[in-house]
Amino acid sequence: VSGKMSVFNNAWAAYLGAMMHEIGHNLGLRHSFEDGKEYGGQTGYMGLQPATTEEPLRCYSAYDHYGLGWFDSHTLDLSPVPPNTLVEIAAFVDYDLVLQGQEQIGFVVGKAGDLYFQYNRASRHNKQTGEMADKLVVFRGRSIGTDLLGSVSLGEERSFVPTGGGIVYFQVCEIKHSSGSSAPDSILVSIGTGTISCPSPTFNPTTSEPTLPPTHAPVTEAPSTLTDLPSASPRYGFEPPSSNPTKSPRNTGIVGFPTLPTETWISTIPPVPSQAPSVSPSLIVLDDSSKTPTGPPFSVAAFASEKSDPTLTSNLALYALICVGFFLSLAIMFLFYNRLRLSKSSEKGADLERGGTSSDLAYDSETAWETYDASAWESASSSS
């Protein structure tokens, strides 16, 4: 013990537990006892170790850690032991996180009289501790070794007796595991010689009410009345596109969509234009050509009586007068042409009777042939 040389028997030199046990002796550590049995304590390397080459991963007892001075900057010494105190002990395997100072945890190893305690967190380089994992473990130091007195679980209260007499009570109030974060794991302990108790929780965990599952499509109720101004976004749904386009606007029948007026058949005759422009364009709904009119047949007189307009009437009368004048002009020209033709025919006949020349006959022989008989033609021919 406390020497610089370690001696191994054959294969024991290759076993990790044997190596760390003997190095512990080189550091001045002695065997761990439990229930009076030497090598009985299995939380660290100073008890009995298995014959394996790469395990177990363990460390040493609280009494050994206190004597080695590895955690002197974060060691708690309760001498004398107060009636009741509340302390937070960080896991010694997270000592590097304690030194980073992100969590203000002041202690890793504690001492109350000749009782030594630590949080035996089973993780990192202590993940294969032999017993009492993740509990507060209490030891008592002696000159021949370390006595493992026992452990305290969460919510449990136990008492241990120091060598000098009296009773020290331990109660674990809370265990904090910060998996995946940079905060060290720790344990909150109430220690004292009198009546000890854990503080009441400062808050209760809250659980928010479950939210409703998302809907597949936004649901918007239709307004009770239509507004005059357009809304900022569409207020109604739309039907999926049909295979063929419709020939005229239809009432879609969508819930919440304003109902269009009932469709009626409208004549193909265009409406008579009004003199004054309309305020806004109106919607004319045209039905399919397959539909037949259901009302009475169209009447021009009724339409003219209902749609009469002074300007249209005067225009129609003017057009009628122009047409009548045109036809009268044609008739007069035709009558004048006939009279002129008859007058020339009469003059030609008189010339023949007075003994006209052959050249006069040749001028309009066709007319003479049509006007006079054969005797007149013969006399005309002989005189020439």
- pLDDT tens, residue by residue, 338-359: 888 887 777 766 665 555 444 4
Is the pLDDT score of 3 beyond 50? Answer: yes
Beta bridge partners of 230: none
Span 281-290, average pLDDT: 45
Residue 266: its pLDDT value, please? 42
List the structure tokens of 44: 């660290």
Is the pLDDT score of 306 beyond 60? Answer: no
What's the helix, strand, coil split of the chain in %, to 5? 30, 15, 55
Is the pLDDT score of 257 beyond 50? Answer: no
Residue 357: its pLDDT value, please? 44
Of residues 170 and 195, more confidently modeled: 170
Residue 11: its pLDDT value, please? 86
Residue 208: its pLDDT value, please? 54
- Strands in 168-176's sheet, in edge-to-edge order, are 85-90, 186-192, 168-176, 157-160
Report the distance separating Cα 131 and Cα 129, nearest Å: 6
Name residue 289's amino acid: S
The pLDDT tens digits of the residues spanning 107-154 come to 999 999 999 999 999 999 999 999 999 999 999 998 899 999 999 999
The pLDDT tens digits of the residues spanning 209-224 come to 556 666 565 555 555 5
Do residues 30 and 1 make contact, with C-beta atoms less than 8 angstroms apart? yes
Do residues 74 and 106 make contact, with C-beta atoms less than 8 angstroms apart? yes
Taking the complete model, does pTM exceed 0.85, yes or no?
no
Q: H/E element holding 147?
A: strand 145-152
Q: Do the bridges between strand 32-34 and strand 145-152 make them parallel or antiparallel, or are there none, so unpaired?
A: parallel
Residue 374: its pLDDT value, please? 45
Q: Which of 67, 97, 179 is nearest to 134 (CA)?
A: 179
Is the pLDDT score of 245 beyond 90? Answer: no
Is the pLDDT score of 303 beyond 80? Answer: no
Report the distance separating Cα 81 and Cα 326, nearest Å: 138
Residue 249: its pLDDT value, please? 46
DSSP E strand stretches across 2-60: 32-34, 37-38
